[in-house]
Amino acid sequence: MHTEKVIKRDKKYVLHTYSRSPLVLERGSGLTVWDADGRSYLDFTSGIGVNALGYCDPEWSAAVAAQAGQLQHTSNLYYTAPCTRVARKLCKRTGLDKVFFANSGAEANEGAIKCARKYSVETYGPARNKVLSLVNSFHGRTLATLTATGQDVFHHDFGPFPDHFAYLPANDSAALDTALQDETVCAVMMELVQGEGGVIALDADYVHHVAEVCAEKDVLLIVDEVQTGIGRTGTFLACQHYGITPDIVTLAKALGGGLPLGAVVMKEKVAACMGPGSHGSTFGGNPVACAGACVVLDRIDDAFLENVNACAARLRQQLAELPEVAEVSGLGLMVGIALKGGRKASEVRTRCEHNGLLVLTAKDRIRLLPPLVLTFDDVDRAVKILAETLAEIPPEEPEAPAAQPNA
Ligand SMILES: *Cc1c(COP(=O)(O)O)cnc(C)c1O
């Protein structure tokens, strides 16, 4: 009854930009979330990679509640301690020098683009303002980050877009070299594992090449770690897997542990160009969000990451053994699952929900982004439900089509 009422009210008053599941979620603890009818679900979405510590981690909840009862917001006209703590932790963990706080991934990426243009225009003159990003990327929904997003489906009907953005095919070093002959390029922006694009990790050779030629030409490398960052891939940043230090890293999703918080983390040379008045955000660095972020960042130590890696290995191995699974992609606990036999990821998602497991999709793949505090038992339970669900769905096409010679 309550469920129907909430859904009806949502349909009447909330803009229909999401196709929601017919669940009203009411409370959560760890990896379990309960709907308004009292049904429980094992959550392998963590609110799209946000709830790194699961639902309502006691230490996180206490820190947030304490800060909310002490000082909830001040604006950036004054200093507050929590945001300085988060900034120091981020610089220590990333090897970068300065942080600008935003409230979302898109806003962090927007800030990164502004920083890159400011640095390049000040250093090399006004013509140097072009931003390159990758085909199939996702960087956000604001106009500039939407423009940087290399997927046309998101672009329809929202133009005109800001000028001087262009796309590179991923993993194509020659295309990058050609594009960088253009002296007006100021930055290359990319995800190391394309999340919304289907959970696809970039080739290490390509990433090394990008880092090298960008450094040679002083074209700023912006790595969008909004989804990959904060331990998701088994290292604090995915950059560490690839052994690169970009000029700018953007973070959001898991950073606040469930509260809106984004960050642009940059090298000193970029920071030096961003003086008072150059950028801002009313809510950026909000003390309550930062109090939560402190708990998240302190929790992610070596033992924590060891658990992420051990669970990721177990999850990936068990998934790869399922007869309906064609490929397991991604890195660490950022998992993409390609299905055999034309099975639809969206159908699997709906049926998993009925069977008590919440999963995501990305393009035609199932996508898993479980809380980073999961255990082997959680992995085993999730794979069991997924295996039973997949077994319910007959293939739409032959499972193993004979190889066809190309026409
Ligand atoms: C989610 C995401 C964004 C956008 O973040 P919002 O907080 O929704 O604005 C940007 N980049 C990547 C890689 C993301 O996964």
Q: From ligand 1's centre to the CA of 86, what distance in Å?
A: 20
Question: Model confidence over 145-177: pLDDT tens digits?
Answer: 999 999 999 999 999 999 999 999 999 999 999
How remote is the C-alpha of 386 from its chain's centroid? 23
Pocket of ligand 1 (CB under 6 A): 104-106, 109, 138-140, 191, 195-196, 224, 226-227, 252-253
pLDDT, one tens digit per residue, over 211-239 is: 999 999 999 999 999 999 999 999 999 99
Q: Whose CA is nearest to atom 11 of ligand 1?
A: 139
Q: Is residue 251 classed as helix, strand or coil in its secondary structure? A: strand
Q: Residue 54 is encoded by which pair of tokens?
A: 């699961």
Q: What is the pLDDT of residues 10-33, one digit of tens each?
A: 999 999 999 999 999 999 999 999
- Alpha carbons 104 and 227: distance in angstroms, whole number: 11
Nearest residue (CA) to ligand 1, atom 8: 105
pLDDT value, residue 399: 63
Mutate to test the pocket of ligand 1, among 104, 253, 255 (most ligand atoms within 8 A of CB): 253
pLDDT band at residue 1 under the 50/70/90 scheme: low
Q: Are 319 and 328 in contact (CB under 8 A)?
A: yes
Is 224 considered catalytic here?
yes
Whether 12 is catalytic: no
Atom of ligand 1 nearest to the CA of 141: 9
Q: How far is Cα 255 from Cα 253, in angstroms, rounded to an integer?
A: 6
40-68 tens-digit pLDDT: 999 999 999 999 999 999 999 999 999 99
Catalytic residue among 44, 100, 101, 138: 138
Helix (H) or strand (E) holding 361: strand 360-362
φ/ψ (deg, to 5) at 63 = -65, -40
Cβ atoms 255, 105 nearer than 8 A: no
Catalytic residue among 224, 236, 267, 340: 224
